[in-house]
């Protein structure tokens, strides 16, 4: 079928097309006017997921953004948000609503659940492309109620978002409170053990006390070395004094009294030798000189014996002092070792106290942070544009429906015209006749209304 043939058919069947168009447009307008008016409004909320938490300082990872947005949309369209919206609107206490509930259900059901399901049917959630904005759309017959529902869902979503963030923190706060009590008891027990150990062992300051005792041990070691040297020297001098009668010992040789006695004895012996040559032994001078020599010899022997005894006593004293210093050194060594053991045990107890203190401080820090986060009333959701009461219905759109009905009616009329022509095919042009008869065409007759004749032409023809 060519285009000229199509135009010929349309001119011939224009009544069918116009009738179809008129019927479709009329029916569409009538139905649009008969349908109930549906009002539409929306509330846009902003999710501050890219910002830093003012309490904990945590930032949402970039790879979790898409999942976070999908999760928030599911939360907005959840029954929990709907139940909170029912409570915020106070619908469960409305007598008219309760009457409709009894008429609609006819059974003993939960009015809050019924209202939540009804509100969920009115609400749609749509995300904005490449942004953190969510649009909460509400549709219904009452424009004021539709705006209230959209705003109530936004408020309920804010409340639930804050509740989801705060409730785990409250549970964690309770857990940390119990842990802090336990750790405080452990810390007090460790401190009591440390204090009791110090009291039992008389330790006030282990490090300073140990430094004093170590210095004393070093001093005793030095004194022992000195005492050992002095004892060895005294023993050697005593051996020399006792070995040769004591007359050739260094102590005897260095004694000034003995040297003076030896000098006086030599003088007296020289004098006695001179007198013994000239006088008889019964002579008084002879006897006096002899008595003087005997006295000096006795004093010399007594001084030498006293000096040797003093050297021997000094050796014994030095050995005794060495033994005393050695015993003191042994006692001091044992004391230092005991202090070392006490320091080690005290260090273990101190580390227990330190570990308990660190655990307690960490738990207290987490408890303080958790309580601070749990008491925060800042939600991640902000209402960007609250819903306003719509002034015009969103549907039905009479103008749009009329335009669409014109397009649909025209298309349907064209289709019916073509179908009617195909059911009752007629010759409407020379080309149609050529295709049907398969014969040459000699001429065509142009059908049309006869032209109106003028008065002159009529008069000429009548004559």
Digit-coded pLDDT (tens) for 278-301:
777 777 777 787 787 778 778 777
Give yes or no for residue 87 having a pLDDT over 80: yes
Residue 77 domain-assigned?
no
Residue 40 domain-assigned?
no
Specify whether 246 is located in the same domain as 331: yes
Specify whether 210 is located in the same domain as 327: yes
pLDDT at residue number 460? 37
pLDDT, average across residues 240-245: 54
pLDDT at residue number 434? 62
Specify whether 425 is located in the same domain as 295: no
Specify whether 326 is located in the same domain as 416: no
Determine the structural domain holding residue 291 and report its residue range: 206-375
pLDDT, average across residues 180-195: 86
Specify whether 230 is located in the same domain as 292: yes
Most confident of 82-96, 105-119, 379-393: 82-96
Residue 450 domain-assigned?
no
CA gap 305, 296 in Å, rounded: 14
pLDDT at residue number 151? 92
pLDDT at residue number 55? 42
Cis-peptide, bond into residue 318, ω within 30° of zero: no
Residue 68 domain-assigned?
no
Specify whether 285 is located in the same domain as 329: yes
The phi-psi region of residue 123 (left if phi > 0; otherwise alpha if psi is between -120 and 50; otherwise beta) is beta
pLDDT, average across residues 210-221: 73
Specify whether 417 is located in the same domain as 321: no
Specify whether 247 is located in the same domain as 313: yes
Residue 409 domain-assigned?
yes
Specify whether 272 is located in the same domain as 306: yes
Comparing 52 with 261, the larger pLDDT belongs to 261
Are 84 and 164 within 8 A, CB to CB? no
Residue 27 domain-assigned?
yes
Residue 311 domain-assigned?
yes
CATH assignment at residue 364 = 1.10.287
Q: Please, what is the average pLDDT of the chain? A: 76
Tell me how many domains the chain contains: 2
Specify whether 349 is located in the same domain as 401: no
Residue 274 domain-assigned?
yes
Give yes or no for residue 46 having a pLDDT over 80: yes
pLDDT, average across residues 32-57: 71
Specify whether 362 is located in the same domain as 213: yes
Give yes or no for residue 60 having a pLDDT over 70: no
């Amino acid at each position: 079928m060519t285009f000229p043939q199509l135009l010929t058919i349309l001119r011939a069947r224009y009544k069918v097309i116009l009738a179809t168009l008129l019927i479709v447009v009329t029916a569409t307008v009538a139905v649009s006017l008969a349908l109930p008016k549906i009002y539409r409004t929306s509330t846009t909320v902003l999710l501050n997921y890219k910002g830093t938490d003012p309490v904990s300082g945590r930032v949402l990872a970039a790879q979790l953004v898409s999942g976070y947005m999908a999760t928030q949309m599911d939360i907005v369209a959840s029954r929990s948000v709907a139940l909170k919206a029912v409570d915020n609107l106070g619908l469960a206490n409305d007598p008219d609503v309760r009457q409709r509930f009894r008429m609609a259900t006819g059974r003993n059901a939960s009015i809050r659940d019924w209202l939540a399901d009804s509100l969920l049917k009115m609400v749609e959630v749509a995300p904005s492309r490449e942004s953190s904005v969510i649009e909460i759309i509400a549709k219904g017959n009452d424009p004021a109620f539709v705006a209230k529902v959209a705003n109530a869902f936004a408020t309920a979503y804010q409340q639930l978002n804050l509740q989801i963030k705060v409730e785990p923190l409250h549970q964690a706060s309770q857990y940390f409170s119990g842990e802090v009590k336990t750790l405080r008891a452990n810390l007090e027990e460790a401190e009591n053990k440390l204090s009791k150990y110090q009291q039992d062992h008389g330790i006030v300051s282990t490090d300073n006390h140990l430094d004093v005792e170590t210095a004393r041990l070093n001093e005793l070691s030095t004194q022992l070395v000195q005492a050992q040297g002095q004892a060895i020297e005294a023993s050697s001098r005593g051996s020399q004094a006792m070995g040769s009668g004591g007359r050739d010992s260094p102590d005897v040789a260095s004694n000034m009294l003995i040297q003076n006695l030896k000098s006086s004895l030599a003088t007296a012996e020289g004098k006695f030798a001179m007198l013994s040559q000239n006088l008889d032994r019964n002579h008084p001078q002879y006897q006096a000189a002899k008595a003087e020599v005997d006295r000096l010899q006795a004093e010399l022997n007594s001084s030498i014996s006293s000096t040797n005894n003093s050297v021997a006593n000094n050796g014994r004293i030095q050995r005794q002092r060495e033994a005393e210093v050695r015993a003191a050194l042994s006692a001091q060594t044992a004391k230092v070792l005991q202090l070392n053991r006490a320091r080690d045990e005290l260090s273990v107890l101190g580390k227990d106290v330190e570990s308990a203190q660190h655990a307690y401080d960490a738990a207290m820090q987490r408890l303080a942070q958790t309580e601070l986060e749990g008491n925060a009333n800042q939600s991640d959701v902000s209402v960007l544009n609250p819903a306003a009461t719509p002034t015009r219905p969103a549907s039905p759109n009479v103008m749009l429906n009329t335009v669409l009905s014109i397009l649909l009616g025209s298309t349907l009329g064209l289709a019916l015209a073509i179908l009617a022509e195909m059911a009752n095919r007629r010759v409407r042009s020379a080309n149609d006749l050529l295709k049907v008869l398969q014969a040459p065409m000699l001429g065509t007759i142009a059908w049309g209304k006869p032209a109106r004749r003028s008065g002159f032409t009529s008069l000429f023809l009548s004559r």
